[in-house]
Structure 1
Amino acid sequence: MAREVNNLTTQIRSEFGKGSARRARREGLVPAVLYGHHTEPRHLLLNSLEFSAVLRAHGTNSLLTLDIEGEEQLALPKQIDVHPLTRIIEHTDLLVVRKGEKVVVEISLTLTGDSAPGTLVTQDASYIEVEADATNLPEDFEVSVEDAAAGVRITAADIELPAGTTLVSDPEMLIVNIIEAPSESDLEAGEDEGVAGAIAETQAADKAESAE
């Protein structure tokens, strides 16, 4: 499924520095820098609620149509800085794109289906890098593990890509590994080993303290 073109009205940012950035965020705006195609960087302000809604609905590769004082410009989020505690978007870099242009992006992977009984699914990668038309980026890729038996390995090369999209990641990169589910005895043995290891570490620490 191709991504929607999301319209965002922007403001030209005329004040700079940490103080002005904090004021902008308090006013519900996200400081942004738009760059690319050998153009001068443009400092903008985006509506925080609108930008967040686009990212929630369509992901971090959302194609944007920016209204910059009446001028339309296509762009893709290149980097999004989020506060680790408040989860507020503090800043974003936007990349200028043009219709028909190819870009390299990370596309998330979603596992579907249930593997065969008695197996365990381990996912080694949650995304792959692909090159695709900037105006026709896939939303995500589904990876089916339906009835997959132990020993099945799915690599990046096994992901079915739509026409016009090429793989950039290493084709041999492991995505999913299907293994036999551990038995109850295996789990009990693992717990016993863990307890034994903890006891051994404690005894070693006691001996070290006694030697001191």
Structure 2
Amino acid sequence: MTSSLGETNVSKITSIEASARAKAGKGAARATRREGLVPAVVYGGNQEPTLIALDPRVVIKGLQTSGWRSRVYEITVGGKVERALIRDVQLHPVKDTPVHVDFMRLAAGSRVHVEVSVHFVGEEKSPGIKRGGVLNVVRHTVDVEVEADRIPEFFTVDLGTLDINDNVRWEDVKGTEGAAPISHEANFVIASIAAPSVDTTTGEATA
């Protein structure tokens, strides 16, 4: 069953302020970091790249939030507003802090490749889990192609009716309308309920 993608599941837009950078290159990027900012670039959409600088706290907060790979950012710089996705974040090898961010500009009407997280609900109702079964998550995220203005915030899997040895496939996932999975396997498995393993020393089932 393929469910419709309701408006409430379209990715929320996160608004951020940025300052413009005049120059590209490693030297200019280092100068930006010395000012306590993170150099970044917004590219794509058949437009020239826009060089920007961000407050590192904004970047870190975004990365610490679930589903950041499918989050739409509305970036304001110099009075101009652009919508984009984070495509890559370079981290400091020792400090693990962001040192550069690549944003991909979203053009209205275009389709984009994006990684959408999967949320699992109804675990407490699952007959299989109640009988000692174990949830085996095959995919925590799914790569899909979708319209730029219809990017899902997340997909939902309801485990409420699953028994031991049951599984959830792509066609069972909610919130997938308009999203085409980038997979060579048709109707792939998202998760399953595995039987409890048996401890050979005691003969007792263990979760």
How far, CA to CA, are the matches of 2:202 and 2:144 in structure 1? 39
Q: 2:37 aligns with which of 17, 26, 29?
A: 29
Supply the AA of the counterpart residue of 1:77: I
Tell which has more relative contact order, 1 or 2 (C-alpha 8 A, sep 6+): 2
Q: 1:144-183 maps to which residues of 2 (within 5 A)?
A: 144-169=158-183, 170-183=185-198
Q: 1:70-85 maps to which residues of 2 (within 5 A)?
A: 70-83=79-92, 85=94
Q: 2:68 aligns with which of 59, 62, 87?
A: 59
Percent identity reads 25
Q: Structure 1 residue 111 and structure 2 residue 111: aligned?
A: no
Structure 1 residues not aligned, in runs of 5+? 190-212
Q: Which has the larger radius of gyration?
A: 1
1:186–1:136 CA distance, 2 compared to 1 (3 A): farther
CA RMSD of aligned residues (A): 2.7
Q: How many matched pairs?
A: 189
Larger displacement relative to structure 2 (31-40 or 153-162): 153-162
Task: Compute the TM-score of the two structures, normalised by the length of structure 1.
Answer: 0.74
How far, CA to CA, are the matches of 1:89 and 1:153 in structure 2? 38
Larger displacement relative to structure 2 (72-81 or 141-150): 141-150
SS of 1:109's equivalent? strand
Supply the AA of the counterpart residue of 2:47: T
Task: Compute the TM-score of the two structures, normalised by the length of structure 2.
Answer: 0.76
Contact 2:146 2:178 in 1 (8 A): yes
* CA shift for structure 1 position 118: 2.5
How far, CA to CA, are the matches of 1:157 and 1:82 in structure 2? 37
Q: Structure 1 residue 41 and structure 2 residue 43: aligned?
A: no
* CA shift for structure 1 position 11: 2.1
